[in-house]
Amino acid sequence: MSFESLGLRAELLRAVSEKGYSEPTPIQLQAIPPVLEGRDIMGGAQTGTGKTAGFTLPLLHRLMSAGKPEKAHRAVRALVLTPTRELAAQVSESVETYGKYLPLKSTVIYGGVGINPQIQKLRKGVDILVATPGRLLDHVSQKTVDLSKVDILVLDEADRMLDMGFIRDIRKVLALLPRQKQTLLFSATFSDEIKRLADDLLRSPALIEVARRNTACELVTQVVHPVDKSRKRELLSYLIGSNNWKQVLVFNRTKHGANRLAEQLNTDGITASAIHGNKSQGARTKALADFKSGKVRVLVATDIAARGLDINQLPHVVNFELPNVAEDYVHRIGRTGRAGNEGEAMSLVCVDELKLLKDIERLIKRGIPKVVIEGYEPDLSIKPEPINRGRGRAQQTARKPAGKKTAPARNGQRPSFKGRSNNQSRSGNRARHSSQNAR
């Protein structure tokens, strides 16, 4: 099946072919026809599946079908809401790329940068607006944006927006939109809260689901390296150095921890920067650009900051700490093995994190091979301690999703690496000084 046979306009086909896409991805095949028909969509897909083009291409097509925009009366006709600044910037870039041969205007608005340049752009008139909810409401309260003509609404990564505590902001935005409109909702997971939102918003939606790339595509090789907490940094430097990894995305639970780890890696002679919600937008953009260009080898990120990062062919993802919420593990390892490339995701797991590991294995419905690296064997006499949750689960506005608390290890029930599937370290099948042996 080709893009041509989907019935997209020639200008869009030209932009797609310039991007080098030879055929639509599964989510694009499923999403483009119903969106072109004007139907609402409930899409189960995460970043990395090609979902951005899946909604952007038909959205641009429909805006053009509705008639050429009148220059003098340009009003926002398509609104895309995203949870993070990075994702907003990426979606906006896609809108520009795919729409480059169309006479449509778009812009992006998010917090952390000056509002005045955004006001100037909005004043000139835009057809497509990509926004994070908080900054959009700032514009609403300053009356610098008019949402009364929105025909198409996209909620991208809706689960993450709810996780970040944006539900009230989203509902406020919804109240400003016309009742009659086409709504496309994308979410990697479907909690009861998402289903409620979908019930309120969508009219007989087309249900679209593409398999999670990590479980279906099997492109990501996963491994757990059991190690003491105090030796994780040393092991990370060792893995990067001995394998000569050039580009590694490392996840940390907290902003403070991310900063500290980046500093320590730099001290070890491994160039690293941190990316998290406390950094200015300029610093975040620079950290990402330096990482993409190869100027820094390691990018240490918190979950929220990393959400939506599109780094092509990222070969290595390391979970320096496991996430508090199991779903985040899926998002994290989704950063590697993208667009048909193989990737590897490794997790440095200390005794405190065994409960988190169990939650993850339950979610992905399989055990992850455990491989002890020689010289970094965990000290089995160390007792688990409750995880320091820090404040880095999300940005300041975030609230914890209900019912996702992670209990500290229970007294008297020592979690252990023993007795787990694939626990090669305990069967004498030890990894040598190379992670290649880890698989």
Using only C-alpha atoms, the chain has a radius of gyration, in whole angstroms, of 23
Q: Which is nearer to ligand AMP, 6 or 224 (CB)?
A: 6
Q: Which is nearer to ligand AMP, 310 or 328 (CB)?
A: 310
Q: Identify the residue whose tokens are 């492109």.
A: 219
Q: Is position 13 an interface residue for ligand AMP (rule: CB under 6 A)?
A: no
How, if at all, do strands 78-81 and 128-131 pair? parallel
- CB 324 → ligand AMP: shortest distance, Å? 24
Size of the site for ligand AMP (CB under 6 A): 14
Looking at 11, 30, 51, 299, which residue binds ligand AMP (CB under 6 A)?
Answer: 51
Looking at 32, 53, 274, 387, which residue binds ligand AMP (CB under 6 A)?
Answer: 53
* Contact yes or no for 156/84 (Cβ under 8 A): no
Strand ranges across the sheet with 316-319: 220-226, 343-349, 316-319, 248-251, 298-301, 272-275
Closest CA to 400 of 297, 304, 298, 330: 304
CA distance 249 to 317: 5
Applying CB under 6 A, the span of 18-26, 61-69, 210-218, 427-435 interacting with ligand AMP comes to: 18-26
Q: Is position 99 an interface residue for ligand AMP (rule: CB under 6 A)?
A: no
- CB 46 → ligand AMP: shortest distance, Å? 7
Binders of ligand AMP among 238-277, rule CB under 6 A? none
Q: Which is nearer to ligand AMP, 53 or 394 (CB)?
A: 53
Binders of ligand AMP among 368-387, rule CB under 6 A? none
Looking at 8, 40, 47, 182, which residue binds ligand AMP (CB under 6 A)?
Answer: 47
Q: Which is nearer to ligand AMP, 140 or 339 (CB)?
A: 339
* Contact yes or no for 98/32 (Cβ under 8 A): no
Q: Is position 83 an interface residue for ligand AMP (rule: CB under 6 A)?
A: no
Q: Which is nearer to ligand AMP, 53 or 240 (CB)?
A: 53
- CB 219 → ligand AMP: shortest distance, Å? 13
Binders of ligand AMP among 283-342, rule CB under 6 A? 310, 312, 339
Looking at 52, 82, 191, 319, which residue binds ligand AMP (CB under 6 A)?
Answer: 52
CB atoms within 10 A of CB 315: 15
* Contact yes or no for 122/153 (Cβ under 8 A): no
* Contact yes or no for 57/32 (Cβ under 8 A): yes
* Contact yes or no for 220/343 (Cβ under 8 A): yes
Number of helices (H), then strands (E), in the chain: 15, 13
**Phi/psi zone of residue 200: left (φ > 0), alpha (ψ -120 to 50 degrees), beta?**
alpha
Looking at 6, 12, 24, 32, which residue binds ligand AMP (CB under 6 A)?
Answer: 24
How, if at all, do strands 298-301 and 343-349 pair? unpaired
* Contact yes or no for 308/90 (Cβ under 8 A): yes
Applying CB under 6 A, the span of 41-49, 65-73, 278-286, 391-399 interacting with ligand AMP comes to: 41-49
Applying CB under 6 A, the span of 45-53, 158-166, 288-296, 380-388 interacting with ligand AMP comes to: 45-53
Applying CB under 6 A, the span of 22-30, 106-114, 156-164, 240-248 interacting with ligand AMP comes to: 22-30
Looking at 13, 21, 134, 363, which residue binds ligand AMP (CB under 6 A)?
Answer: 21
* Contact yes or no for 212/46 (Cβ under 8 A): yes
CA distance 409 to 130: 43
CA distance 419 to 357: 14
- Name the CA dihedral angle for 221, 50, 320, 239, rounded to a multiple of 10 degrees: 50
Q: How far, in whole angstroms, is CA 430 from its chain's centroid?
A: 34
Q: Which is nearer to ligand AMP, 54 or 323 (CB)?
A: 54
Cβ-proximal residue to ligand AMP, closest one:
52
Q: Is position 217 an interface residue for ligand AMP (rule: CB under 6 A)?
A: no
Q: Which is nearer to ligand AMP, 340 or 419 (CB)?
A: 340
Looking at 34, 48, 334, 392, which residue binds ligand AMP (CB under 6 A)?
Answer: 48
Applying CB under 6 A, the span of 42-50, 186-194, 318-326, 417-425 interacting with ligand AMP comes to: 42-50
Q: Which residues bind ligand AMP (CB under 6 A)?
A: 21, 24-25, 28, 47-53, 310, 312, 339
